[in-house]
Amino acid sequence: MSPAPRWLTALKKATDEHAKSTLFQLATVDAQNRPHVRSMINRDFMEVEGKPGLPLLISSTDARTPKTRELAAHSFVELCWWIDASGDQFRIAGRMRIVPSPELGSSLPSSTPAPPDCPALAAYDAAGADWQAKRREQFEAVSEHMRASWCRPPPGEALPGGYPAMDEWPTTVKKLSEAKTDEEKKLSEEAFRNYALVILEPSEVDWVQMAIRPNRRTRFRRFGEEWKEEIIVP
């Protein structure tokens, strides 16, 4: 069994010790090859049972955002994760899969088989992973204020009423399991319908340790299920 790569051990340690260091910047490319970047939050780590060298990073998004269409065109992405408290920067490249509501059809990358360069996703798929159950688990885990954000109009659309129109939006939405009234159930179901799970399978990582003098930089590349590391100039 291959051990977990050093970058993953370091990343988990940094996020465990600094709970607010879960924000990273994700870069995608649209169908016209134009780059787009935005901030996202890492929600969880997963790894194939018995194979710690095959990790997955779990995040989430509104399925109606432009990034889901960009990922449909180009599923290869890179994120940059700067952890100020530890002085670590992780640039993580790999394939991204979106798991939306089944109601949204099959136009997103979730509907395609795992590419050959995604052994972790392939292993989970072969084992019959219930990604919809994972989607619900993560949806239930976020705050009621966060769930309310998926009951708004699609992100990026014009807002004719200006900022005052936002006063009409719900500010809290209950978990699906806790919604009691018809209105609460309606909002919970709407939010869950617009909520998508985001899964990243890393294949290359560039780790810079800025807290060390002189700085250290290591590049990790995955070959099959094995990670090879190379020391490079910071």
pLDDT digits (tens, 9 = 90+) for 86-137: 999 999 999 999 999 998 766 565 556 778 889 999 999 999 999 999 999 9
Whole-angstrom Cα distance, residue 197 to residue 19?
21
Instruction: Identify the pLDDT of residue 21.
Output: 95
Containing H/E element for 228? strand 226-232
Residue 56: pLDDT band (50, 70, 90) is very high
| Cβ contact 139:126 at 8 Å | no
Q: Tokens standing for 92? A: 């993580």
Please answer whether residues 216 and 229 qualify as being in contact, where contact means their C-beta atoms are separated by less than 8 angstroms.
no
pLDDT, position 112: 64
Q: Amino acid letter at 36?
A: H
pLDDT of res. 125:
94
3 state SS of 43:
coil
Mean pLDDT of 35-45: 97
Which residue has 């780790």 as its token pair? Answer: 207
User: Spelled out in words, what is the top-level CATH class assigned to the domain 6-155+163-232?
Assistant: mainly beta
Domain residue extents for the chain: 6-155+163-232
| pLDDT at residue 31, rounded to an integer | 86
Largest CA distance in the chain: 61
Which whole number is the average pLDDT over 18-25?
Answer: 95
Nearest alpha carbon to residue 63 among 102, 23, 114: 102
